Amino acid sequence: MQVVWSKQNNNNRLNHGVTMQSKDLTEYFSENLFVANLKAKTKAKSLEELSDLFVANKVIRTKGIVLEMLNQRETLGSTGIGKGVAIPHGRTTAALDVTIAFGKSKNGIDFDSVDKELVKLIFVVLAPPQDDNNRYLPVLGKLVEVVHDKANREKLLQAKTFEELMQVFEEVG
C-alpha cells in the first residue's frame, strides 16, 4: 500500500455523513493494547508481539488467523507507510469490533517501508468483516491523517504511557 501524503482525505467520513475527529480514535485503543517499547526486532516478530496482546486481552481467541491475515496483507504491499510509521491492518472473522494495538520501537524495525526508513510507530488495526457504520476505513483514514503531521509523530515517539498516547489524539482535535 502506498500512501500519498495530502491534505485532502475523504476516507474519514462515517456513513451518516459525520466526519471522524482525531479524538474519536481514542475509543478504538485500549491501555492493554499499548506497548511503549516493543521487544521485536523484525516485522514478523512485531506483528506477532502485537497479536499476542489481542489474545491476552481476549480481543481475539487465537493469533493464528490474525497473523495469517496480517502477513497476507503485507504480501500485497508493505503497510510501512513512510516517515517511521506502519499501519498493518485488515478485516478478520476473529475480530468482533474495530480495535487498534499500538507499539513503539526505540531502534526501529525494517518494515520494507515505501521510503525505506525504519519503523518506530506501529498501529495494528483489526476489524470484523462487517462493522456498524463501516468505521474501519474512516479509522484508517484518520489515523493516517494524524501521523502525517511531523509534530504528532514526534509526540507519539515521546509517549511513554497510554495516557500520553491518548493525549496526542485528543489534542489534535
Maximum distance among all alpha carbons in the chain? Answer: 41
Residue 140 CA, distance from chain mean position: 8
Helices 162-172, 136-148: axis angle to 10 degrees equals 90
Q: Quickly list H helices, 89-133.
A: none
Provide the residue type at 115 as one letter.
Answer: D
Which residues, at least 6 apart from 171, have a Cβ–Cβ distance to it below 8 Å?
155
DSSP single-letter state for residue 19: B
Assess contact for 106 and 40: CB atoms under 8 A: no
Provide the residue type at 28 as one letter.
Answer: Y
User: Looking at the annotation, which residues are catalytic?
Assistant: 89
* Other beta carbons less than 10 A from residue 77's beta carbon: 11
